[in-house]
Amino acid sequence: MAVPGRCAPTGRFAPSPTGPLHFGSLIAAVGSYCLARRTGGRWLVRIEDLDAPREVPGAADDILRTLETLGLCWDGDVLRQSLRHEAYHEALGRLRDRGLLYDCACSRREILASAPHPGEEGPVYPGTCRSGLPAGRLPRAVRIRVPDRVVEFDDGVFGRCGQNLASAVGDFVLRRADGVFAYQLAVVVDDAASGVDQVVRGADLLGSTPRQIFLLESLGLPVPAYWHLPLALHADGSKISKRHGEGDDPLRHGGDLVRRALEWLGQELPGELRAAPSAELLAWGGAFFDAARIPKKTQIVVDSAGK
Ligand SMILES: [Zn+2]
């Protein structure tokens, strides 16, 4: 393994333990791994188990075992979001001290009723509780005030991207009515705490990035470089969310899975590696991965055979 130098990046893979690692999430794992390793960087793994009801028992350990089986070896300890509540609470306090937060009494149904035209990321919060809770209402969620300006960033795949937070999402939730900290908050707090400066993930999160940059800036934390990879979709447009058939079994077909992930990311493998085991393919990817070859598409349909 390369020794991290001063300029070497720190990347990460951050799966949710909602089932075993499948081809869709393997793309993000392989892409983030190769982009970190090709410049001698570190690669971390974080389990995003913030939302306990969605978690499948045993899935986190299963994902980690699969990564090890494939030769996707991470640096340091695995971070688990379920053990990070204190850090999220502290970040929320800092934002509150800056006057950026307010309590919101609105139910989802009320927001849908008052925002009939959805923004880019779903219903735009109309700002009902921005100047205080309506009389007789109790606080439910905690929201952050967003500025009416475009938050811009340079994506490693898609180039210059931007979003006006006020018109695309409105003031967004940082702690839900059920007390769970929002994904957007947890991600930025964890990335900063782990020194992650290279975020490589699926293009379904492209629209979350401006919110995360706004949170990082509001917390005085450094903004990482972003790379969004094309999502693997079924022909009906749904995201690949589980394994399909025996060909997806990483124990028996690890090399084939990693090769498919590298090819998905536009990489041209040397002929002699076409039947190589996964560790050999990853060693090649960690040395020769060419970011310029990643398809500039937010999604690609996997053919009917699931390949
Ligand atoms: Zn409200």
Cα(111) to centroid(ligand 1), Å: 8
Q: Locate the domains of the chain by residue range.
A: 10-83+230-301, 85-186
Residue 45 near residue 67, CB atoms below 8 Å = yes
Using the predicted structure, report yes or no on whether residue 2 has a pLDDT greater than 60. Answer: no
Percentage, residues of the chain above pLDDT 70: 94
Yes or no: domain 85-186 corresponds to CATH 3.40.50.620: yes
Cα(123) to centroid(ligand 1), Å: 13
125: which residues sit within 8 A by CB, 6+ positions away? Answer: 104, 106, 111, 115, 143, 169, 170, 171, 172
The reply to whether domains 10-83+230-301 and 85-186 share a CATH topology is yes
Q: What pTM, to 2 d.p., does this model score?
A: 0.93
The overall average pLDDT reported for the chain is 91
d(CA 231, CA 212): 20
| pLDDT tens column, 143-190 | 999 999 999 999 999 999 999 999 999 999 999 999 999 999 999 999
Using the predicted structure, report yes or no on whether residue 270 has a pLDDT greater than 60. Answer: yes
d(CA 175, CA 183): 9
Cα(84) to centroid(ligand 1), Å: 27
Residue 116's pLDDT band, with cuts at 50, 70 and 90, is: low
Residue 246's pLDDT band, with cuts at 50, 70 and 90, is: low
d(CA 121, CA 5): 38
Per-residue tokens: 271? 């002929």
Query: Which residues are annotated as catalytic?
Result: 242
Q: 10-83+230-301 sits in which CATH class? A: alpha beta
Task: Supply the pLDDT for residue 307.
Answer: 44
Using the predicted structure, report yes or no on whether residue 305 has a pLDDT greater than 70. Answer: no
**Which range has highest mean pLDDT (5-14, 82-91, 104-113)?**
82-91
Residue 6's pLDDT band, with cuts at 50, 70 and 90, is: low
Query: Which residues does residue 102 pair with via DSSP β-bridges, in sequence order?
Result: 143
- Give me the mean pLDDT over the 238-242 stretch: 77
